């Protein structure tokens, strides 16, 4: 534990701006003297007390509720004091300054500062204290931030399940089974002449196979949970006036982008996050792709290609009303060629044939392809009337990799997926060793040890200070 982890900390624990209630939170060891200085009295544990909050001269800053949580029965595991006042920014800043002032002031009973070393908390430091004091594990700590940042109801519910320990319980079940198998393998190292029969009788192969099957199930659920958290980035691309902005508006259900018959209306990206079955999709409308003499439009087109390059999926929008125009067909071929060159094959391109309401007979022409690859998905729709939008939504879910949400889905992060992949790789190496003739049991034991370390990194039982710094720095101050 770093030296700063022993410092008492204080911060405003509510969001910036005005509100009905604002909270200033203090955490540290031995807050009794500070409580007396701030509240003018002792407080009963876990009982709200209505009283004035006074400055050093005895003048009331505000009146509100004070709550005292003696450690270890608190959020951080340390003593915690919460001052709940009116949520004006100035009031909360005055209370924060008063806490720092009172902490440095001399306690008449001891002649020492009331709370020496009290400082303003860094982002996420309260939750970091909770982790370091074993109130929560690392996956639960991350779930707190995910719950706050959730962009859909499904993501919020999944983050809540992770916060209660659902994901951690799955990891602990895997870890316990892995530890049991490690003990079995390492015990055989002391009996080299009987090791193979010993492992066979203990069904080490069956235990390892069951571990891999359980891990596969956890990975599948974790991928779905990560999808709920992250979503995917979908870029709408195509020629000017193909209906890109209209499609964005139709998917979002709001007039977000300006729609006119004038080519080049959209000159910069317009982004909106929508949800389909709880999965967040970050839809980006871009400038029409064409050669242009307008400097501003050229910048917008360059930015469009930048967005396309970073997309998880691209909606290539085609205008059914212009399918017979030779100039339009040639431009389509150029865009298709550029997409093929600039995008990896792993990034799906979905052909969207728009303006079905203006050219209902053109669907058959569009189906012939215009260079469409056999593996490319396609959908025919009208962004103006909404016809065919449900089909596009279904395709987007398929592209995202979403399956019907299993019961009790938990939130997960990219680092969790990477850790589970590492576990899977180590278990496969272990299985290969176990199946080989004359297996090297020391190598088998090492692969199992590495698999356990990768699992433990998810819950923070095996982690570095650098990892903790990255995770908690993304939290808000006061949390």
Structure letter (DSSP) for residue 122: P
How far, in Å, are 5, 37, 202, 430, 462 from residue 451 at the CA level? 30, 52, 20, 9, 11
Give the Cβ contact number of residue 375 at 10 Å.
Answer: 8
* pLDDT tens, position by position, 126-174: 999 999 999 999 999 999 999 988 888 888 889 999 999 999 999 999 9
Where is the binding site for K(+), in residues? Answer: 241, 260, 262, 265
Where is the binding site for (6S)-5-formyl-5,6,7,8-tetrahydrofolate, in residues? Answer: 25, 82, 135, 479
Where is the binding site for GTP, in residues? Answer: 241-246, 260-266, 285-288, 382-384
Grouping H, G, I as helix, E, B as strand and the rest as coil, residue 241 is coil
Minimum mean pLDDT among 63-77, 275-289, 357-371, 429-443: which range? 357-371
* pLDDT tens, position by position, 199-244: 677 788 889 999 999 999 999 889 888 888 888 899 999 998 888 8
Give the Cβ contact number of residue 262 at 10 Å.
Answer: 9
* Confidence at 22, pLDDT banded by 50, 70, 90: very high
What is the rounded average pLDDT of the residues 333-337? Answer: 91
DSSP per-residue letters across 124-139? THHHHHHHHTTSS-HH
Last residue of a domain, one of 116, 136, 156: 136
What CATH number corresponds to the domain at position 271? 3.40.50.300
User: CA-CA-CA-CA torsion for 195, 201, 205, 206, nearest 10 degrees?
Assistant: -160
Asked whether residue 360 carries a pLDDT value surpassing 70, the answer given is: no
Where is the binding site for Mg(2+), in residues? Answer: 245, 266
Long-range CB contact pairs, 294-301, < 8 A, 24+: 294/264, 296/267, 297/264, 297/267, 299/267, 300/266, 300/267, 300/268
DSSP per-residue letters across 285-326? E-PPPS--S-HHHHHHHHHHHHHHHT-SEEEEEEEGGGTT-H
Whether residues 205 and 260 share a domain: the answer is no
What is the rounded average pLDDT of the residues 252-256? Answer: 66
Structural domain range at position 44: 3-136
50 within domain boundaries: yes
Query: Which residue did the predictor score with more confidence, 165 or 4?
Result: 165
> What pLDDT does 371 receive?
45
Whether residues 11 and 107 share a domain: the answer is yes
pTM: 0.77
State how beta strands 119-120 and 9-12 pair. Answer: parallel
Query: Which residue did the predictor score with more confidence, 264 or 335?
Result: 335
* pLDDT tens, position by position, 363-387: 555 555 444 444 578 899 988 898 8
Instruction: In whole angstroms, give the CA distance from residue 62 to residue 64.
Output: 7
Whether residues 329 and 249 share a domain: the answer is yes
* Confidence at 405, pLDDT banded by 50, 70, 90: low
Asked whether residue 194 carries a pLDDT value surpassing 60, the answer given is: no
> What pLDDT does 197 receive?
65
Where is the binding site, in residues? Answer: 25, 82, 135, 241-246, 260-266, 285-288, 382-384, 479
Whether residues 257 and 350 share a domain: the answer is yes
Q: Which helix (H) or strand (E) holds 363?
A: helix 363-367
Look at the chain and report how many structural domains it folds into.
3
Whether residues 180 and 251 share a domain: the answer is no
Q: Which residue has the tokens 């009788």?
A: 201
């Amino acid at each position: 534990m770093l030296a700063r982890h022993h410092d008492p900390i204080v911060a405003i624990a509510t969001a910036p701006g005005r509100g009905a209630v604002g909270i200033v939170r203090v955490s540290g060891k031995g807050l009794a003297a500070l409580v007396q200085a701030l509240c003018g009295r002792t407080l009963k544990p876990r009982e709200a007390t209505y009283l004035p909050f006074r400055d050093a001269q005895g003048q009331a800053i505000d009146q509100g509720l004070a709550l005292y949580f003696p450690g270890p029965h608190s959020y951080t595991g340390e003593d915690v004091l919460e001052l709940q006042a009116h949520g004006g920014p100035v009031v909360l800043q005055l209370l924060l300054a008063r806490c720092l002032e009172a902490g440095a002031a001399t306690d008449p009973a001891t002649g020492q500062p009331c709370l020496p070393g009290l400082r303003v908390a860094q982002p996420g430091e309260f939750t970091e204290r909770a982790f370091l004091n074993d109130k929560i594990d690392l996956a639960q700590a991350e779930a707190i931030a995910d719950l706050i940042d959730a962009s859909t109801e499904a993501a919020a519910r999944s983050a809540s399940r992770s916060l209660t320990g659902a994901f951690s319980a799955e990891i602990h079940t895997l870890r316990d089974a892995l530890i049991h198998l490690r003990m079995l393998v390492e015990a055989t190292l002391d009996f080299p002449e009987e090791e193979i029969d010993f492992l066979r009788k203990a069904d080490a192969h069956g235990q390892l196979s069951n571990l891999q099957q359980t891990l596969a199930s956890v990975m599948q659920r974790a991928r779905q949970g990560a999808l709920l958290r992250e979503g995917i980035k979908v870029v709408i691309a195509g020629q000017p006036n193909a209906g890109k902005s209209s499609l964005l508006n139709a998917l979002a259900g709001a007039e977000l982008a300006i729609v006119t018959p004038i080519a080049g209306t959209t000159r910069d990206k317009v982004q909106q996050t929508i949800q389909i079955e709880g999965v967040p999709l970050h839809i980006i409308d871009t400038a029409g792709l064409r050669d242009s003499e307008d400097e501003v439009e050229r910048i917008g087109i360059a930015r469009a290609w930048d967005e396309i390059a970073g997309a998880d999926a691209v909606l290539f929008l085609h205008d059914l009303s212009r399918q017979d125009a030779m100039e339009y067909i040639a431009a389509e071929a150029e865009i298709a060629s550029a997409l093929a060159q600039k995008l990896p094959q792993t990034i799906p391109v979905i052909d969207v044939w728009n303006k079905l309401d203006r050219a209902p007979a053109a669907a058959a022409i569009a189906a012939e392809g215009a260079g469409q690859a056999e593996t490319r998905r396609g959908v025919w729709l009208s962004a103006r009337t909404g016809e065919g939008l449900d089909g596009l939504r279904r395709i987007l879910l398929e592209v995202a990799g979403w399956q019907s949400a299993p019961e009790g889905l938990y939130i997960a992060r990219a680092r969790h997926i990477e850790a589970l992949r590492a576990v899977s790789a180590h278990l496969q190496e272990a299985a290969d060793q176990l199946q080989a003739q004359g297996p090297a049991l020391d190598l088998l034991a090492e692969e199992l040890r590495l698999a356990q370390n990768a699992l433990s990194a998810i819950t923070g039982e095996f982690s570095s200070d650098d990892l903790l710094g990255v995770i908690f720095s993304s939290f808000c101050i006061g949390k």
